[in-house]
Amino acid sequence: MSENLFQAAYYFDKVFRESKEYKSLQRLCNELNTDPEAKQILNQMNHLNSQLQQKQMMGQEIRQQEVEALQNMEAVAQQNEKIKRMMEADHQVNMLLLELNKIISKPLEELYEQLVGNAGSRFR
Protein backbone atom coordinates (compact mmCIF):
# COMPACT_ATOMS: atom_id res chain seq x y z
CA MET A 1 0.00 0.00 0.00
CA SER A 2 2.78 2.47 0.82
CA GLU A 3 4.09 1.87 -2.70
CA ASN A 4 1.11 3.94 -3.93
CA LEU A 5 2.18 6.76 -1.63
CA PHE A 6 5.68 6.75 -3.08
CA GLN A 7 4.30 6.72 -6.62
CA ALA A 8 2.11 9.69 -5.73
CA ALA A 9 5.11 11.46 -4.16
CA TYR A 10 7.19 10.98 -7.31
CA TYR A 11 4.28 12.23 -9.39
CA PHE A 12 3.98 15.24 -7.08
CA ASP A 13 7.73 15.88 -7.55
CA LYS A 14 7.19 16.02 -11.30
CA VAL A 15 4.12 18.26 -11.08
CA PHE A 16 5.78 20.54 -8.52
CA ARG A 17 8.80 21.04 -10.79
CA GLU A 18 6.40 22.11 -13.56
CA SER A 19 4.51 24.60 -11.37
CA LYS A 20 4.80 28.30 -12.14
CA GLU A 21 5.93 29.00 -8.55
CA TYR A 22 8.83 26.56 -8.75
CA LYS A 23 9.82 27.63 -12.27
CA SER A 24 9.84 31.26 -11.20
CA LEU A 25 12.04 30.49 -8.19
CA GLN A 26 14.33 28.37 -10.34
CA ARG A 27 14.72 31.15 -12.92
CA LEU A 28 15.46 33.72 -10.23
CA CYS A 29 17.98 31.44 -8.51
CA ASN A 30 19.74 30.93 -11.84
CA GLU A 31 19.85 34.70 -12.36
CA LEU A 32 21.20 35.25 -8.89
CA ASN A 33 23.78 32.52 -9.40
CA THR A 34 25.32 34.50 -12.27
CA ASP A 35 25.73 37.64 -10.13
CA PRO A 36 28.81 37.20 -7.89
CA GLU A 37 27.97 40.20 -5.70
CA ALA A 38 24.39 39.10 -5.05
CA LYS A 39 25.52 35.52 -4.47
CA GLN A 40 28.12 36.68 -1.94
CA ILE A 41 25.56 38.80 -0.05
CA LEU A 42 23.12 35.90 0.08
CA ASN A 43 25.82 33.46 1.20
CA GLN A 44 26.97 35.80 3.97
CA MET A 45 23.41 36.32 5.17
CA ASN A 46 22.70 32.58 5.16
CA HIS A 47 25.98 31.90 6.98
CA LEU A 48 25.19 34.42 9.73
CA ASN A 49 21.64 33.09 10.04
CA SER A 50 22.91 29.52 10.26
CA GLN A 51 25.42 30.45 12.96
CA LEU A 52 22.76 32.14 15.07
CA GLN A 53 20.34 29.23 14.69
CA GLN A 54 23.06 26.80 15.71
CA LYS A 55 23.89 28.87 18.81
CA GLN A 56 20.21 29.05 19.69
CA MET A 57 19.77 25.27 19.34
CA MET A 58 22.80 24.70 21.57
CA GLY A 59 21.37 27.04 24.19
CA GLN A 60 24.18 29.56 23.77
CA GLU A 61 23.62 33.24 24.30
CA ILE A 62 23.16 35.32 21.17
CA ARG A 63 24.73 38.72 21.56
CA GLN A 64 22.96 41.86 20.43
CA GLN A 65 25.78 42.66 17.99
CA GLU A 66 25.24 39.28 16.28
CA VAL A 67 21.55 40.01 15.84
CA GLU A 68 22.37 43.46 14.51
CA ALA A 69 24.92 42.00 12.08
CA LEU A 70 22.24 39.67 10.68
CA GLN A 71 19.72 42.49 10.47
CA ASN A 72 22.26 44.61 8.60
CA MET A 73 22.94 41.78 6.15
CA GLU A 74 19.20 41.32 5.63
CA ALA A 75 18.86 45.05 4.91
CA VAL A 76 21.71 44.87 2.40
CA ALA A 77 20.10 41.82 0.79
CA GLN A 78 16.76 43.62 0.48
CA GLN A 79 18.51 46.43 -1.40
CA ASN A 80 19.62 43.96 -4.07
CA GLU A 81 16.77 43.54 -6.56
CA LYS A 82 17.77 40.00 -7.59
CA ILE A 83 17.89 38.79 -4.00
CA LYS A 84 14.66 40.56 -3.16
CA ARG A 85 12.80 38.94 -6.08
CA MET A 86 14.30 35.52 -5.28
CA MET A 87 13.24 35.81 -1.64
CA GLU A 88 9.71 36.79 -2.68
CA ALA A 89 9.53 33.78 -5.01
CA ASP A 90 10.88 31.56 -2.23
CA HIS A 91 8.11 32.85 0.02
CA GLN A 92 5.49 32.00 -2.62
CA VAL A 93 6.85 28.45 -2.93
CA ASN A 94 6.82 28.03 0.84
CA MET A 95 3.23 29.27 1.07
CA LEU A 96 2.26 26.75 -1.61
CA LEU A 97 4.02 23.96 0.30
CA LEU A 98 2.23 24.93 3.52
CA GLU A 99 -1.13 24.69 1.77
CA LEU A 100 -0.21 21.33 0.25
CA ASN A 101 0.95 20.09 3.64
CA LYS A 102 -2.46 21.00 5.09
CA ILE A 103 -4.11 18.85 2.44
CA ILE A 104 -1.74 15.93 2.98
CA SER A 105 -2.05 16.17 6.77
CA LYS A 106 -5.85 16.44 6.80
CA PRO A 107 -6.45 12.70 7.47
CA LEU A 108 -4.18 12.86 10.53
CA GLU A 109 -5.84 16.01 11.78
CA GLU A 110 -9.27 14.39 11.44
CA LEU A 111 -8.04 11.24 13.17
CA TYR A 112 -6.63 13.11 16.16
CA GLU A 113 -9.70 15.34 16.37
CA GLN A 114 -11.82 12.20 16.71
CA LEU A 115 -9.48 10.91 19.39
CA VAL A 116 -9.16 13.98 21.61
CA GLY A 117 -11.60 16.56 20.24
CA ASN A 118 -10.93 19.89 18.56
CA ALA A 119 -9.10 21.42 21.53
CA GLY A 120 -6.47 18.70 21.51
CA SER A 121 -5.64 18.66 17.84
CA ARG A 122 -1.88 18.49 17.42
CA PHE A 123 -2.08 20.69 14.29
CA ARG A 124 -3.55 23.79 15.88
Average of pLDDT values for 58-82? 95
What pLDDT score was predicted for residue 1?
66
Domain boundaries, position 115? 2-120
Q: Is the pLDDT of residue 101 over 80?
A: yes
- Residue 65: is it exposed, middle or buried by C-beta count within 10 angstroms (0-12/13-18/19+)? exposed
CATH at 100: 1.20.1500.10
Q: How many structural domains comprise the chain?
A: 1
Quote the pTM value.
0.80
In this prediction, residue 117 has a pLDDT band, given cuts at 50, 70 and 90, of confident
What pLDDT score was predicted for residue 2?
86
Round to whole Å and give the CA distance between 27 and 31.
Answer: 6
